């Protein structure tokens, strides 16, 4: 799964008013946690949730499409999400799948710009077996060239399917236009010409796997009915012999954007017009006060309880949806806003309404009580998501990948508590500058 369509549809939905009792301060993850690294660099985070009998086992590779810096070779992070299920000499794909089916495991994987994650939900008693299976494929993945070509062709088929979706089409147009140098300029799927040529790149695929699928670039996240000491004994048993050898990618630095960019996307199918705004944004950092304030700004200005949402979606019903995301990225990325306009003649009107909202937030202070309530809703929403082992692991995976641990969670929510209305206004002035944005419009071909 890529970040593309998911981000377009992402919109905070912290509704309700009975949140005043949400806790503030202290640790966000109250379960016992243990972090330990092996000599080969593999880090393991164990979060104990006793009593459920369940375990969520995540292997987080800190490589995504961001790491595809070599021209002509985009799409390989996503390709390996597929290829990792092709099996090894010891556990061929059919046997791997048969074993997991027999134990009732639920497994999946996804790729984004900053990570690739593989996860299995199991009964706690099967953890050793799953570590055996997972460590084997990460250490010993093997595939013949004909198998590689088949899977590469399947990935190209997935791209061709995705590009028929208008959400993906405008997202791809925005990313390619917004970035001139950084690898965030291509989607997780990659550039089409690279994906089409992928079947000829067998040797390169071996190099990609050898450089990035190494213990120093991987974090195991084990959440559920486990204890730290026996879990780490299993990690040492199955992963200690994994040889290091990670080679860091040479990511180009994106130059400062000094003027507004525009992209028109022509869509071959039937669709209403879509409008996207993407503002250059800082990398995720709980110590960056403006970056933290921008999370609150995004919800207050564009979220489902905002005045703009009420105006465009509910009252005037001029757009189908309004979705905004202050993206958490390892490198400077985008704060983006997407909408689909019901009346093709009113795209400019919607843009004007968005700009008027931005002006309001750059000139006036938000209400202190509203800001306090939002902080409580954010904290409450996070805590309510910690109900199951898989929910905990899934909610933490991205922060673990981009920061290398879970410490940033406590730092982030502590930082939220310190944000003032003045900080929100300053964040609007800093980030929502039209000279820092890319404006994209998708329209159906006439």
Exposed/middle/buried for 266, CB within 10 Å: 0-12, 13-18, 19+?
exposed
Going from the C-alpha of 358 to that of each of 1, 147, 351, the distances in angstroms are 32, 51, 11
pLDDT at 273: 98
- Tell me: do 265 and 215 sit in the same domain: no
pLDDT at 31: 95
Decide if 221 contacts 105 (C-beta within 8 A): no
- Tell me: do 265 and 207 sit in the same domain: no
- Tell me: do 435 and 340 sit in the same domain: yes
- Tell me: do 331 and 390 sit in the same domain: yes
Condensed to tens digits (0 to 9), the pLDDT of residues 103-115 reads 999 999 999 999 9
Mean pLDDT of 179-198: 97
- Tell me: do 68 and 134 sit in the same domain: yes
Q: How confident is the model at residue 13 (pLDDT cuts 50, 70, 90)?
A: very low
Question: Percent of the chain having pLDDT more than 90?
Answer: 93
Short-list 441, 205, 220, 438, CA closest to 333: 438
Condensed to tens digits (0 to 9), the pLDDT of residues 278-294 reads 999 999 999 999 999 99
- Tell me: do 127 and 191 sit in the same domain: yes
Residue 247 domain flag: no
Per the structure, the complete domain to which residue 273 belongs is given by 261-444
Number of domains in the chain: 2
Across 348-367, b (16+ Cβ under 10 Å) vs e yields eebbebbeebbeebeeeebe
Q: How many CB atoms lie within 10 A of CB 145?
A: 12
Decide if 63 contacts 115 (C-beta within 8 A): yes
CATH code (residue 406): 3.30.830.10
Q: How confident is the model at residue 25 (pLDDT cuts 50, 70, 90)?
A: low
- Tell me: do 439 and 367 sit in the same domain: yes
Q: How confident is the model at residue 214 (pLDDT cuts 50, 70, 90)?
A: very high
- Tell me: do 226 and 301 sit in the same domain: no
Q: How many CB atoms lie within 10 A of CB 125?
A: 11
- Tell me: do 234 and 282 sit in the same domain: no
pLDDT at 22: 36
Alpha-carbon dihedral angle through residues 74, 77, 78, 79, given to the nearest 10 degrees: 80
Condensed to tens digits (0 to 9), the pLDDT of residues 232-274 reads 999 999 999 999 999 999 999 999 999 999 999 999 999 999 9
Mean pLDDT of 335-355: 97
Q: How confident is the model at residue 4 (pLDDT cuts 50, 70, 90)?
A: very low
- Tell me: do 293 and 187 sit in the same domain: no
Instruction: Give the integer Cα–Cα distance in Å for 279 and 440.
Output: 11
The overall pTM is greater than 0.85:
yes
Instruction: Give the integer Cα–Cα distance in Å for 173 and 401.
Output: 26
Short-list 116, 118, 88, 117, CA closest to 105: 118
Short-list 97, 70, 71, CA closest to 84: 97
């Amino acid at each position: 799964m890529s970040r593309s369509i998911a981000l377009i549809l992402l919109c905070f939905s912290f509704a309700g008013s009975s949140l005043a009792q949400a806790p503030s301060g202290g640790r966000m993850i109250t379960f016992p946690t243990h972090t330990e690294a092996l000599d080969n660099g593999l880090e393991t985070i164990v979060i104990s949730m006793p009593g459920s009998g369940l375990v969520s086992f995540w292997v987080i590779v800190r490589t995504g499409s961001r790491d595809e810096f070599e021209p002509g070779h985009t799409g390989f992070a996503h390709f390996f999400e597929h290829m990792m299920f092709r099996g090894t000499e010891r556990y061929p794909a059919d046997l791997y799948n048969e074993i997991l089916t027999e134990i009732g495991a639920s497994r999946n994987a996804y790729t984004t710009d900053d990570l690739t994650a593989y996860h299995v939900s199991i009964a706690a008693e099967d953890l050793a077996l799953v570590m055996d299976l997972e460590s084997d494929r990460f250490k010993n993945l093997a595939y013949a060239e004909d198998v590689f070509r088949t899977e590469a062709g399947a990935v190209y088929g997935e791209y061709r399917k995705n590009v028929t979706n208008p959400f993906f089409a405008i997202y791809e147009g925005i990313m390619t236009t917004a970035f001139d140098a950084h690898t965030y300029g291509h989607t997780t799927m990659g550039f089409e010409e690279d994906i089409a040529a992928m079947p000829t790149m067998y040797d390169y695929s071996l190099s990609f796997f050898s450089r990035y699928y190494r213990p120093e670039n991987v974090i195991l996240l084990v959440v559920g009915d486990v204890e730290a000491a026996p879990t780490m004994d299993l990690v040492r048993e199955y992963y200690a012999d994994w040889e290091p050898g990670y080679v860091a990618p040479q990511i180009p630095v994106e130059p400062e954007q000094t003027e507004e960019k525009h992209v028109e996307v022509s869509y071959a199918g039937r669709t209403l017009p879509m409008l996207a705004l993407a503002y250059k944004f800082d990398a995720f950092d709980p110590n960056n006060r403006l970056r933290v304030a921008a999370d609150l700004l995004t919800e207050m200005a564009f979220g489902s309880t905002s005045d703009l949402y009420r105006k465009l979606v509910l009252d005037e019903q001029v757009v189908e949806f309004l979705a905004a995301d202050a993206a958490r990225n390892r490198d400077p990325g985008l704060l983006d806003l997407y909408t689909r306009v019901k009346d093709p003649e009113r795209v400019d009107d919607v843009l004007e309404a968005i700009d008027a909202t931005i002006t309001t937030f750059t000139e006036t202070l938000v209400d202190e009580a509203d800001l306090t309530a939002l902080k409580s809703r954010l904290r409450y929403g996070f805590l309510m998501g910690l109900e199951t082992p898989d929910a905990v692991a899934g909610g933490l995976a991205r922060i673990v990948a981009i920061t290398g641990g879970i410490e940033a969670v406590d730092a982030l929510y502590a930082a939220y508590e310190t944000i003032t209305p003045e900080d929100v206004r300053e964040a609007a002035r800093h980030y929502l500058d039209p000279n820092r944005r890319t404006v994209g419009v998708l329209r159906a071909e006439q």
